[in-house]
């Protein structure tokens, strides 16, 4: 939990909010896709090896960023719902 | 239009890459709020379509790494690949390459390791070839490189025996086969030895290049 808070603080400090992270993920995915398309249109050893290694890594990183943002968003929404529910229960009490 | 499996896979990969790119460019340019519809669009643009592109691209790439054209991508391999493509050549490699079972994949067909993990070990060896090429041979002329090109390990007779069973009576009728039966089977004598069936490729000290 402590580490998680530290990561969130770090992301805030470098101004990496969800939308900015998703834009980075989108740009990374476009780069990865470009490398794969290069290997398909120009099937020589270097493009093929780059597509099967570097492009895969870049693509995986962009998808992981997307999943992290989704999880973070879901976690935040869940926390908000929980806080609202607690508030309502307090009001009733 | 040639409707081979490879062309269909290339079309699929390009199609899914285009679909992913369209979604991603829309997201970067329009900057929509992070609502459910945006999340689903991004799941397609960052997940489904890129994974489809990578999967089909990998299959196509892997198929291409088996082709002779891929091997000739390193300039020092050209004397070997040119020889096997020469219809007038009588080297063992050229004669095998004229067989449609070997055809355009003749390099891979003969140099592939057999066994359960043959494809994996072949590709790992291939990576070693790439390393050697970029660290040693890349800056050399073909004439400089040829005397230094050598196999990492002796060519295994097992690879020949995948097609040539060596169990038929006609094989034993050749006196050298009968005399060297044990040595051939345990790899002490190579089928590709000079004077037997070698040299397989044109060499600097054998068949002129």
Tokens of B27: 């997201």
Tokens of B181: 């039966």
Contacts of B97 (CB under 8 A, 6+ apart): B68, B84, B85, B103, B106
From B78's Cα to the closest Cα of chain A, the distance in A is 14
CB B66 within 8 A of CB B182: no
Chain B residues at the A interface, defined by Cβ less than 8 Å, are 10, 13-14, 17, 20-21, 24-25, 27-28, 31, 34, 39, 42-43, 45-47, 50-51, 53-54, 57-58, 60-62, 64-65, 69-70, 73-74, 130
**Residues of chain B contacting A53 with CB distance shorter than 8 Å:** none
Confidence of residue B120 (pLDDT cuts 50, 70, 90): confident
**Which residues does residue B194 pair with via DSSP β-bridges, in sequence order?**
B198
B169, pLDDT greater than 60: yes
Domain count of the fold of chain A: 1
Chains A, B: CB contacts under 8 A, how many? 88
B50, pLDDT greater than 80: yes
DSSP code at position A82: H
Closest partner CB to A26 (pick from B17, B24, B70): B24
Closest partner CB to A23 (pick from B28, B43, B47): B28
What is the domain range of residue A51?
2-92
- Residue-range domain boundaries for chain B: 5-65, 71-153
Confidence of residue B207 (pLDDT cuts 50, 70, 90): very low
Q: What is the pLDDT of residue B125?
A: 83
| DSSP codes, A15-78 | T--HHHHHHHHHHHHHHHHHHHHHHHHS-SHHHHHHHHTHHHHHHHHHHHHHHHHHHHHHHHHH
Global ipTM: 0.81
Tokens of B110: 């003969």
Each residue's pLDDT tens digit, A23-45: 999 999 999 999 999 999 998 88
Task: Read off the pLDDT of each residue in B106-125 and give the average, rounded to a whole number.
Answer: 82
pTM score, two decimals?
A: 0.79
Tokens of B102: 């070997």
Tokens of B176: 């050298």
Interface touch B73/A19, C-beta < 8 Å: no
Interface touch A40/B74, C-beta < 8 Å: no
**Cα Rg of chain B, angstroms:** 24
What is the spatial distance between Cα A34 and Cα B84, in angstroms, rounded to a whole number? 34
Bond prior to B199 in cis (omega within 30° of 0): yes
Confidence of residue B204 (pLDDT cuts 50, 70, 90): low
């Amino acid at each position: 939990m402590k580490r998680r808070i530290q990561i969130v603080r770090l992301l805030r400090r470098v101004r990496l909010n969800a939308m900015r992270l998703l834009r980075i993920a989108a740009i990374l995915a476009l780069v990865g896709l470009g490398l794969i398309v290069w290997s398909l249109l120009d099937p020589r050893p270097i493009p093929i090896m780059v597509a099967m290694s570097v492009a895969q890594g870049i693509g995986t990183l962009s998808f992981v960023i997307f999943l992290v943002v989704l999880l973070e968003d879901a976690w935040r929404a869940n926390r908000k719902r929980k806080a609202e529910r607690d508030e309502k229960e307090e009001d009733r009490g | 239009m040639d409707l081979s499996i490879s062309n269909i896979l290339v079309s699929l990969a390009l199609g899914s890459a285009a679909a992913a790119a369209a979604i991603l460019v829309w997201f970067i340019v329009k900057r929509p709020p992070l609502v459910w519809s945006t999340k689903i669009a991004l799941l397609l643009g960052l997940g489904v379509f890129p994974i489809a592109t990578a999967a089909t691209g990998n299959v196509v790439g892997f198929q291409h790494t088996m082709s002779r054209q891929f091997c000739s991508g390193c300039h020092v391999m050209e004397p070997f690949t040119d020889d096997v493509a020469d219809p007038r050549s009588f080297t063992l490699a050229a004669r095998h390459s004229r067989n449609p079972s070997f055809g355009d994949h003749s390099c891979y067909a003969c140099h592939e390791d057999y066994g359960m993990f043959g494809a994996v070990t072949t590709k790992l060896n291939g990576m070693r070839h790439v390393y050697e090429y970029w660290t040693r041979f890349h800056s050399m002329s073909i004439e400089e490189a040829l005397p230094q090109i050598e196999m990492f390990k002796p060519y295994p007779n097992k690879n020949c025996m995948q097609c040539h069973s060596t169990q038929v009576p006609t094989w034993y009728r050749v006196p050298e086969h009968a005399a060297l039966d044990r040595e051939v089977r345990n790899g002490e004598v190579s089928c590709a030895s000079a004077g037997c069936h070698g040299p397989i490729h044109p060499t600097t000290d054998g068949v002129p290049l």
